[in-house]
């Protein structure tokens, strides 16, 4: 099946708009795409009429061109006939927002939809979903634009069985500066499943990292997915719910999926080099890190800080996550000390963590980063920056990013995220160096590179 017309549509029909209720989900989708996106949008309602000054078509076949994407927001029992009409009209594919299928005991309706789609080679997302957020192309979420936080365009694709979890992750991505290539809410995933989207994104030039929120799989789906993920040339990150018996029951009632044995699934992911995120915080950190670096590390961390307390916390967090913080050899310590500024060299602690103290200036952090970037026993540098130290300027993020580019060793950073420090943070982000507002987040960014095993 060809997904291009549904992920990058130039035209869209919204089937099920209301002529009397402007807050109807179909109307929200229609209005925001009409006003905010560059595609042609056509409203469809069997009664016809006028909506927002535009003609309402009684059926999709009346639209004077073949639309790329049909968004279906009608009662469940009407959906199979609507999909058939879309196929006959030459639409490129559909998003079925409507619920009331296998998740509520109507597997017969869902089976009819799948049979239609397979026979015609007609791709559809859903049902029981939000659908697609494709930056600069389309947004089928039935959420008002003023209430939805949308990340900037980027290189991370995310696929979620839950629309609510997907919206949460988009908010988290936005606050962390993680950009999206595409977000897809698949709901019941009746026809298009995780493995199908994995295949698409593995070849998509705009996507470098592929993230999944998974509730469960049908028979043999989990095995097929893990095997495909292990062969994907791009990092694949998986966050799963349904880890407990109670969670498994919640999953089944939500999207009619089988949660399966979580412990077995987790072990298989690790065995095949697929990165598992245990919670939403890890998912964001992993996506940001692997979106910047396509590299795997052993997990030997060199820590540079201006505060001994921050360094000690980072060491604890590293060991809790299975990362090591090897001591810096005495001869290398002496080289670093000799290259530091006169006020910092005599008082700095250089054993790892390297504590440059609150007297450090930009040049001291750059020097320490250069030496650790060349140290053979360190494969990732962790920079803990406190922008309130008097000697630090807003240029330091950009300067450290140049060290990364020159030396080729990954660097992750911690900087408190407040507006006052935005220029320092942007110096990292504009140069594709991941930066977290929490020490734990910086550690997880390093951990992501340790967990990922390229195929």
Q: What is the 3-state secondary structure (H, E, C) of 174-242?
A: HHHCCCEEEEEECCCCCCCCHHHHHHHHHHCCCCCEEEEEECCECCCHHHHHHHHHHHCCCCEEEEECC
For residue 62, which of 43, 81, 75 has the smallest C-alpha distance?
A: 43
Superfamily of domain 294-451: Succinyl-CoA synthetase domains (3.40.50.261)
For residue range 152-207, what is the model confidence (pLDDT) as tens digits? 999 999 999 999 999 999 999 999 999 999 999 999 999 999 999 999 999 999 99
Model confidence at 418, pLDDT cuts 50, 70, 90, reads confident
**Percentage above 90 pLDDT, the chain:** 91
What is the residue whose two structure tokens read 């073949």?
A: 66
Contact 91, 57 (CB under 8 A): no
- Check pLDDT > 80 for residue 252: no
For residue 211, which of 275, 165, 256 has the smallest C-alpha distance?
A: 275
1-128 against 149-292: fold identical: yes
Superfamily of domain 149-292: Succinyl-CoA synthetase domains (3.40.50.261)
The domain segmentation of the chain, as residue ranges, is 1-128, 149-292, 294-451
Lowest mean pLDDT among 119-123, 265-269, 412-416: 265-269
Model confidence at 247, pLDDT cuts 50, 70, 90, reads very low
Question: Angle 194-203/221-231 helices, nearest 10 degrees?
Answer: 10
**Residue 316 to residues 313, 328, 329, 433: CA-CA distances in angstroms?**
5, 17, 21, 23
Model confidence at 219, pLDDT cuts 50, 70, 90, reads confident
**Percentage above 70 pLDDT, the chain:** 96
The rounded distance, in Å, linking the Cα atoms of 190 and 102 is 9
Q: Which helix (H) or strand (E) holds 302?
A: strand 301-305
What is the residue whose two structure tokens read 């396509």?
A: 294
Q: According to the CATH classification, is domain 1-128 in 3.40.50.720?
A: yes
Q: Does the model's pTM come out above 0.85?
A: yes
């Amino acid at each position: 099946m060809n997904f291009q017309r549904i992920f990058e549509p130039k035209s869209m029909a919204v089937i099920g708009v209301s002529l009397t209720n402007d807050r109807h989900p179909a109307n929200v989708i229609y209005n925001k795409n009409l006003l905010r996106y560059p595609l042609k949008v056509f409203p469809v309602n069997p009664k016809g009429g006028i909506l927002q000054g535009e003609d309402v078509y009684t059926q999709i076949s009346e639209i004077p061109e073949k639309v790329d994407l049909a968004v279906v927001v009608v009662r469940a029992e009407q959906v199979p006939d609507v999909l058939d009409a879309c196929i006959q009209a030459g639409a490129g594919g559909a998003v079925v927002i409507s619920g009331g299928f296998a998740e509520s005991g109507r597997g017969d309706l869902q089976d009819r939809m799948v049979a239609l789609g397979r026979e015609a080679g007609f791709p559809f997302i859903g049902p029981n979903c939000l659908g697609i957020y494709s930056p600069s192309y389309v947004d089928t979420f039935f959420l008002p634009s003023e209430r939805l936080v949308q990340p900037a365009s980027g290189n991370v694709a995310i696929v979620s069985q839950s629309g609510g979890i997907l919206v949460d992750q988009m908010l988290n991505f936005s606050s962390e500066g993680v950009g999206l290539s595409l977000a897809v809410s698949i709901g019941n995933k009746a026809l298009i499943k995780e493995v199908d989207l994995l295949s698409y994104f593995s070849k998509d030039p705009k996507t470098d990292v592929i993230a999944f929120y998974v509730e469960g799989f049908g028979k043999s789906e989990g095995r097929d997915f893990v095997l495909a993920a292990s062969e994907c040339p791009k990092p694949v990150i998986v966050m799963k719910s349904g880890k407990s018996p109670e969670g498994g029951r919640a999953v089944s009632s939500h999207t009619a999926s089988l949660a399966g044995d979580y412990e077995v699934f987790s072990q298989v992911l690790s065995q095949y080099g697929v990165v598992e995120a245990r919670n939403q915080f890890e998912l964001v950190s992993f996506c940001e890190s692997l979106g910047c670096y396509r590299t795997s590390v052993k997990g030997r961390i060199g820590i540079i800080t201006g505060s001994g307390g921050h360094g000690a916390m980072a060491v604890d967090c590293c060991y809790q996550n299975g990362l090591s913080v090897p001591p810096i050899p005495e001869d290398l310590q002496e080289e670093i000390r000799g290259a530091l500024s006169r006020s910092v060299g005599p008082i700095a602690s250089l054993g790892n963590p390297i504590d440059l103290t609150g007297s450090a200036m930009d040049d001291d952090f750059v020097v320490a980063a250069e030496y650790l970037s060349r140290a053979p026993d360190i494969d990732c540098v962790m920079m803990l920056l406190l922008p309130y130290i008097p000697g630090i300027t807003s240029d330091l993020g950009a300067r450290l990013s140049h060290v990364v580019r020159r030396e080729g060793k990954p660097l992750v950073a911690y900087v408190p995220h407040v507006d006052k420090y935005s220029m320092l943070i942007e110096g990292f982000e504009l140069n594709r160096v991941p930066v977290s507002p929490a020490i734990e987040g910086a550690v997880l960014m390093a951990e992501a590179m340790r967990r990922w095993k390229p195929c």
